[in-house]
Structure 1
């Protein structure tokens, strides 16, 4: 978002404080009008010629700039899946736990999936509960542990 003197175009398509269309005005004149009304001149897009600009109250312009910055900093959180078995060895479990912790520290979510055969559902649920407890420093469970058919799963989101 470009404001006031940062607008380099020679003329702008100006919109007033209440949304009224003022028309195409030289940038110097638009800046003078903004100073006179004690507001900011905000350019909404540089893709057209002349660029559309509007007069905005100073506090509103700062809020809009912060909202635009916050929106651009939002990043897509990826969900990485880690597969386990209920009768996993201690060393392998530690490796999977470290891998999950690294993923959570990087800001991504982890889906822990335990493949179940026969009556291993209870063991899989206990394993996932232990992992969620041990990973609580880096993330918290988004969903409860879901045991269905051939797998038990839980998603852990990173702590913000």
Structure 2
């Protein structure tokens, strides 16, 4: 199968003998610009420094190559990718459905669910479902959503205000950010200073 125009030839980084161009723009191991050199000279410099010649910008004319330890480079880039995945936070939207003429006990149960979701760090989409003649009284749903927002205001804030959507009225609550807790080792010296 032949490569079609515009398709990437290879996504893998080319190093040392895999770089097949007559000349490259060479960057030294400490980031200094060496200049445009023949590929043979660049490979010889890499061998003398006991480093790899790594292509860092294949699209440039001529391609940019850097002298570096490729194994260390791959390890550090894998560490950075792992760290960025760890720092990503997956937001989940939970849904809680209510009716405009909800009983007090049922309301308290639904409110406890919303509180539990917010404490778990999840967003909550609260939906009021209107049926029949209830659709002519959207203010009942609006007041119920406002009451719920006030009841859970210490745990969550209104991210999307109540809005009518056909037979439903929806509102989105987002958890409030909790202050980051410092480890006990950092707190101990700070507490010891005022006594001195």
Same fold (TM over 0.5): yes
One of 70, 90, 111 as aligned partner of 2:104: 90
Report the counterpart of residue 30 of structure 2 in structure 1: 17
How far the C-alpha of 1:45 sits from its partner, in A, is 2.3
Residue 125 and residue 68 in structure 1: after superposition, are their counterparts in 2 closer, same or farther (change >3 A)?
A: same
- Distance change >3 Å, CA 93–CA 44, structure 1 → 2: farther
Question: Partners of 2:118 and 2:32 in 1: how far apart?
Answer: 45
Equivalent positions of 1:64-79 (< 5 A) are 69=83, 72-79=86-93
Counterpart for residue 45 of structure 1: 74
Matches within 5 A, 1:10-159: 16-18=29-31, 23=46, 43-46=72-75, 69=83, 72-117=86-131, 118-159=135-176
Q: RCO higher in 1 or 2 (8 Å CA, sep ≥ 6)?
A: 1
* Contact 1:125/1:147 (8 A) holds in 2: no
Would you tell me which structure has more strand in proportion to its own residues? 1
Deviation at 1:114, TM superposition (A): 0.3
TM-score, normalised to structure 1, is 0.61
* Aligned mates of 1:15, 1:138 — CA distance in 2: 53
Larger radius of gyration: 2
Question: Take 2:117 and 2:128, find their aligned partners in 1: how far apart are those partners?
Answer: 18
Instruction: Summarize deviations over 1:95-148 as a string: whole Å, max 9, x none.
Output: 111111111111110000001232231100100011111111111111111112
Match of 1:5 in 2: none
Unaligned runs of 5+ residues in structure 2 are: 1-15, 17-26, 34-41, 52-70, 178-196
TM value normalised by structure 2: 0.51
SS at structure 2 position matched to 1:43:
helix
Query: What value does the CA root-mean-square deviation take over the aligned residues?
Result: 3.5
CA distance, structure 1, for counterparts of residue 144 and residue 159 of structure 2: 17
Count how many residue pairs are aligned between Structure 1 and Structure 2: 120
